[in-house]
Amino acid sequence: MSRTSGPVRPASALMALGQSLWLDYIHRELLESGELRRLIEQDGIRGVTSNPTIFEQAIAGGAAYDAAIAALAREGKDARGILKALTVADVGGACDAFAPIYEMTEGGDGFVSLEVAPDLAHDTAGTIAEAKRLWAAVGRPNLMIKVPGTPEGLPAITALLAEGINVNVTLLFAVEMYQRVIEAYHAGLEQRAAAGRPLDRVRSVASFFVSRVDSEVDPQLEARIAATADPAQKVRLEALLGTAAVANAAVAYQAYEAEFSAPRFRALMAKGAAVQRPLWASTSTKNPRFPATMYVDRLIGPDTVNTVPPATLKAFQDHGRPARTIDADVAGARRQLAALAAAGISLTAVTDHLVTDGVAKFAKSFASLLAAIETKRAAAR
């Protein structure tokens, strides 16, 4: 692959720190224009994630897919069939673009993620069946199937990994659920090993959503700040603004380090297993008062992935600060979470709401996308 001369760009510098930068965006024009290949070769992008909202914006937000929709409509496909064909084609093309990375890293990187339909979030059997269909349709070893981190998703994760299907566990917010996901990962690999099947090319990431935590916690803090007349209390509460998400991720990373250095995983590693990397998702800054690169700069550490939308990538390339930060102050992170609890903010209630809300938002995007495709399909026919 070609390389540009000059100083190392921040995204490329992350690799030396053990972190892969993935792009949280996909669009057919990204593939056809050669921009994705440029991002790989020049900017150090190592993978791509997608979700129903990203595909809604791509397919329903313009005319780029209209000709393909019309052709598929003339073949007699319904809206779901058209959507599957479009997404499989885009994801397959992206997988091909990342194939050199996948081979160079011996299956360690270069993945593209495709999500099961969000209306299956609470359907274990449906999730497994849909994941297998997508895996077969794309037909690339560097595909990851996204499965939501719901109670019903856990047995699906285990079953898919046992089959050798790479899994991106999405919509994780709570450390407690993340620990259950790690258990599901171990169980899947153990089942596969017991069946005498190889572990060396099975990969998984656990996608921990970040900025949405602050978006939920900070308004609660601001309400308490406005309600208190105690100047000292105001200062204490103001100091907590914009800290919950990173603190939560730092504690999750500690869980990762503990579980993947334990004897249970070392036994799997001896059989060729790779760690399930934490992936930091939802890392664009929602509050304009915070730096655009906050959820990249503060979440850098070994064996992690950060998936960023194009605007955040551009900001990080411009003024990102690559340095190991995820475990720089774990004790401070725990103090911040304890201070939130002392202020009457339940992180459990926050994360429970965010999972429900996340599933609902993706389901809404999925339904809206199908409706848009149906309109275009009807017009084409």
Catalytically annotated residues: 146
**Identity of the amino acid at 6:** G
How far apart (Å, rounded) are the C-alpha atoms in residues 331 and 337?
10
Q: Shortest CA distance to 168 belongs to which of 210, 208, 212, 125?
A: 208
Between β-strands 304-308 and 19-23, what pairing exists: parallel, antiparallel or unpaired? parallel
HSE-CB for 30 with a 13 A CA cutoff: 22
How far apart (Å, rounded) are the C-alpha atoms in residues 381 and 377?
6
Q: Which two tokens stand for residue 220?
A: 């609660």
Residue 230, classified by CB atoms within 10 Å of its CB into exposed (0-12), middle (13-18) or buried (19+), is exposed
Q: Shortest CA distance to 374 belongs to which of 67, 81, 114?
A: 81
Q: Cα Rg for the chain, rounded, in angstroms?
A: 21
**Identity of the amino acid at 84:** K
How far apart (Å, rounded) are the C-alpha atoms in residues 321 and 298?
9
- Residue in the structure block whose two tokens are 């299907």: 165
